[in-house]
Structure 1
Amino acid sequence: MKAVLLAGGYGTRLSEETGVVPKPLVEIGGRPILWHIMKIYAAHGITDFVVCCGYKGHMIKDYFLTYFHRNSDFTIDVRSNSLELHRPVAEPWRVTLVDTGLETMTGGRIKRIREHIGDEAFCLTYGDGVSNIDIGKLIDFHREQGTIGTVTAVRLPGRFGALDLSNGTRVNHIREKSILDGQTINGGFFVMEPTVFDYIEGDSSVWEEGPLTGLVNDGQLAVYRHEGFWQNMDTLRDKTLLQGMWDSGKAPWKIWD
Structure 2
Amino acid sequence: MKVLILAGGYGTRLSEETEVKPKPMVEIGGKPILWHIMKIYSYYGYNEFIVLTGYKSHIIKEYFINYYTRYSDITIDMADNSMQIHTMRHEPWKVTMLYTGQDTMTGGRILQARPYVQNETFMLTYGDGLSDVDIPALIKFHKSHKKAMTMTSVLPDGKFGALDIQESDGRIKSFTEKPKGDKSLHNAGWINGGFFVCEPKIFDYIQQDESCVFEQAPLRGLAQSGELYSYKHYGFWKCMDTLRDKMEMTKMWQSGNAPWALWL
Partner of 2:202: 196
Distance apart, 1:57 and its partner CA: 0.5
Asked whether 1:222 is paired with 2:229, we answer yes
Q: State the TM-score, normalized to the length of structure 1.
A: 0.89
Distance apart, 1:158 and its partner CA: 6.2
Instruction: Classify the secondary structure of the residue corresponding to 1:59.
Output: helix
Distance apart, 1:81 and its partner CA: 2.3
Unaligned runs of 5+ in 2: 160-186
Instruction: Classify the secondary structure of the residue corresponding to 1:87.
Output: coil
Letter of the aligned partner of 1:195 in structure 2? K
CA deviation string 1:40-83 (max 9, x = no partner): 00001100000000000100000000000000011122233222
Distance apart, 1:26 and its partner CA: 0.2
Partner of 1:149: 149
Partner of 2:26: 26
Letter of the aligned partner of 2:29 in structure 1? G
Give the 5 Å matches for 1:48-127. Answer: 48-127=48-127
> What is the rounded CA distance, in whole Å, between the counterparts of 2:102 and 2:231 in structure 1?
32
> What is the rounded CA distance, in whole Å, between the counterparts of 1:205 and 1:3 in structure 2?
21
**How many aligned residue pairs are there?**
236
Letter of the aligned partner of 1:249 in structure 2? G
> What is the rounded CA distance, in whole Å, between the counterparts of 1:206 and 1:100 in structure 2?
14
Aligned in 2, Cα 1:250/1:158: closer, same or farther, shift over 3 Å? closer
Contact 1:158 1:183 in 2 (8 A): no
Instruction: Classify the secondary structure of the residue corresponding to 1:152.
Output: strand
Letter of the aligned partner of 2:94 in structure 1? R
Contact 1:157 1:182 in 2 (8 A): no
> What percent of counterpart residues are identical?
56
Unaligned runs of 5+ in 1: 160-180
> What is the rounded CA distance, in whole Å, between the counterparts of 1:245 and 1:40 in structure 2?
16
Distance apart, 1:219 and its partner CA: 0.3
Distance apart, 1:32 and its partner CA: 0.2
Partner of 1:129: 129
Instruction: Classify the secondary structure of the residue corresponding to 1:212.
Output: helix
Letter of the aligned partner of 1:62 in structure 2? E
Partner of 2:240: 233
> What is the rounded CA distance, in whole Å, between the counterparts of 1:98 and 1:78 in structure 2?
35
Instruction: Classify the secondary structure of the residue corresponding to 2:86.
Output: strand
Partner of 1:12: 12
Distance apart, 1:114 and its partner CA: 1.0
> What is the rounded CA distance, in whole Å, between the counterparts of 2:8 and 2:136 in structure 1?
26
- Comparing 197-206 and 48-57, the one that deviates more: 197-206
Distance apart, 1:204 and its partner CA: 1.4
Q: Which has the larger radius of gyration?
A: 2
Q: State the TM-score, normalized to the length of structure 2.
A: 0.87
